[in-house]
Amino acid sequence: PFAFLLYYYLSYENLTHRTNTTVYRGAQLTDEMIAAYHYVARSKDPRRSFQAFTSCSRNRAKAEQFGNALFVLNAENHISYRTLNMDISALSTYPDEEEILIRPGRSFKIERVEFDKTKNKHIIYLTSISTSDAN
């Protein structure tokens, strides 16, 4: 029930602020998971999707506090801000995290995977894909 209400809120909330944006997600990934991202990024079909609501932040420094990997998710022009994600910082227990929630099923292209030696962190660059591009 809560997931339905949240999905409904994300789908039908009237947003006045639609823009291109970059959001970040810190995560703890195994070596096997990182290797899989490298493999998919080099494949002929580097598209993947998040299958659950996924919490991100507009604040890169905040996201970098979590895990050994940082997802850098870029929303392109052809994706409306509303269909990609929802700013829920006003609803969050931690409003300082500037939380953005990505809807389930949102598709991304894995652009590249790098390792930042200074931060000792894997950086995974993703770009949003429209529904028509995902087919």
Mean pLDDT by 10 residues, the chain (135 residues): 61 49 94 96 90 90 96 68 65 84 86 96 91 51
| Domain that residue 109 falls in | 2-134
Q: At 109, which CATH number? A: 3.90.176.10
> Which residue from 94, 17, 97 is spatially nearest to 56, judged by alpha carbons?
97
Please tell me the predicted confidence (pLDDT) of residue 112: 96
Please tell me the predicted confidence (pLDDT) of residue 91: 79
Q: Which amino acid is at 90?
A: A
* Total tally of structural domains belonging to the chain: 1
Please tell me the predicted confidence (pLDDT) of residue 126: 95
**Beta-strand runs (E) in 1-98:** 21-27, 47-49, 54-57, 69-75, 85-87
Please tell me the predicted confidence (pLDDT) of residue 79: 45
